[in-house]
Structure 1
Amino acid sequence: MGSEETKKHPKTHLQLNPNWAQLQLKVKSNGLNKSSKHTKNPESETHNSILGKRKERLEAESDGSKPSPLTPINDDFSLTDVVAMDCEMVGISQGNKSALGRVSLVNKWGNLIYDEFVRPLERVVDFRTRISGIRPRDLRKAKDFPTVQKKVAELIEGRILVGHALHNDLKALLLTHSKKDLRDTSEYQPFLK
């Protein structure tokens, strides 16, 4: 019976996000995966893995010698003098216009201080899930735009704001920020080379 089911419903190979593979490695290295029936030999898995050499690199880099830039360096979730912001957009109108769908802020330690889905004023026609990660269910309980706008304005006021193409995020939020307090990675010369 089991072999008949396998023939009817063969497993399809899905391409994993590299962040997911990195998280799995971190969980394994922390010994959080207690279940012995789900553990596999990482050597045999590497060559058959859809990530191939990328997974080998992740294992080599996760030896603890160098901290990951994606890992917060402490447990301080306070509002610091420097905050980083990223906004995700969804498509409105005929899909060719963007509206704010999510805004996230982290402090200078990389710890999340604000993360909210935003209910756009217009009907969403394209969630851009592959890029934004936003799904229809995320916006069902989302906060309204003015509430999020006010909170973000309070959080970034008088602070150095870091982000990529910040002008787009600020425009989506209908906010301004002092140019002297902006640190935009899209304009940082060493990154442009």
Structure 2
Amino acid sequence: MKKAIQLNPNWAQLRQKLGHGSAPSSNKSRTENQETLLGKRKERGDNEEDSDGEMNVLTPTSADTSITDEIAMDCEMVGVSPLGNKSALGRVTLVNKWGNVIYDEHVRPVERVVDFRTQISGIRPRDLKKAKDFRVVQKEVAEMIKGKILVGHALRNDLKALLLSHPKKDIRDTAEYQPFLKDGRSKALKHLAAEVLGVKIQNGEHCPIEDARAAMMLYVKKKREWERSVKDLVKMKLKQKKRKPKKQKKESSPAS
């Protein structure tokens, strides 16, 4: 009678790793582990790691999505008018002081869109099919930024596209902040983000979430000095106003 062939322990272990003769529960456990890992990758989001696998500095460190006293805004434009050279609002994004999105909507312009400017705006025809009406977005944004410190880059363009105004004392524009200027001229947000934050943005289609986060982080990084300069400017204006002599009323000439 032949003896039963005994497998070398190493070979048996290899067979088990390859899945031969392994118990069903092992396969299930392996599948669950793979799904868990994939789930964690999805939860991290596309912008949390850069191409080198390092954590993106623009990634919010808090999950708080409340409306804070400081709000950063960024807009993307599309082209209207017969030649498509007139800008109209196509998307508006607001993030709070932690960089979490509190508002992000595509907008259906009043005029017909001729150029979606996809290479820069990232907006495609399908994005505007179910987009909100301009007037609705305008009203919602106005309510959210009212009484808040508004942060952004070249905000005059965004406010113009929204047909809104905002108190000058409550605007923190990274395109106009003196320490960020070069020879009196504003730098592009892309360059500021690289120089001050050490992060690359706007490589291809612009992402308004990323741009708003970059503007907010630039503000937060210089917040103490920035707010001090705003207070000093307000004080200086008040002093000038007090010093300014009041215009004396012209004395009426005596009747002849």
Query: Could you say which TM-score interval applies, normalised by the shorter chain?
Result: 0.5 to 0.7
User: Considering only CA atoms, is the larger Rg found in Structure 1 or Structure 2?
Assistant: 2
Distance 1:125 1:153 in 2: 27
Write the letter of the residue equivalent to 2:147: G
Specify every segment of 5 or more residues in structure 1 that has no aligned partner in the other structure, as ranges. 1-29, 35-53
Greater helix percent: which structure?
Answer: 2
Aligned to 2:92: 103
Residue 118 of structure 1 aligns to a residue whose secondary structure is strand
Residue 76 of structure 1 aligns to a residue whose secondary structure is coil
Distance 2:57 2:170 in 1: 22
Structure 2 counterparts to residues 151-190 of structure 1, below 5 A? 151-190=140-179
Greater strand percent: which structure?
Answer: 1
| CA pair 33-113 structure 1, distance change in 2 beyond 3 A | closer
Distance 2:140 2:39 in 1: 38
Structure 2 counterparts to residues 44-193 of structure 1, below 5 A? 55=51, 58-59=52-53, 62=54, 68-93=56-81, 94-193=83-182
Distance 1:155 1:171 in 2: 17
Residue 38 of structure 2 aligns to a residue whose secondary structure is coil
Write the letter of the residue equivalent to 1:102: R
Write the letter of the residue equivalent to 2:63: D
Distance 2:60 2:156 in 1: 26
The normalised TM-score by structure 1 is 0.67
Write the letter of the residue equivalent to 2:75: C
Distance 1:192 1:131 in 2: 24
Distance 2:57 2:156 in 1: 24
Residue 140 of structure 2 aligns to a residue whose secondary structure is helix
| Structure 1 residue 76, shift from structure 2 partner | 0.2
Write the letter of the residue equivalent to 2:91: R
| Structure 1 residue 143, shift from structure 2 partner | 0.4
Sequence identity percentage: 73
Residue 160 of structure 2 aligns to a residue whose secondary structure is helix
| Structure 1 residue 31, shift from structure 2 partner | 4.8
Distance 1:143 1:167 in 2: 22
Distance 1:100 1:158 in 2: 23
- Please list every run of at least 4 consecutive aligned residues from structure 1 whose deviation after the TM superposition is greater than 6 angstroms: none
Distance 1:179 1:69 in 2: 29
The normalised TM-score by structure 2 is 0.51
Number of positions where the alignment pairs a residue of Structure 1 with one of Structure 2: 137
RMSD: 1.9
| CA pair 32-181 structure 1, distance change in 2 beyond 3 A | same
| Structure 1 residue 136, shift from structure 2 partner | 0.1
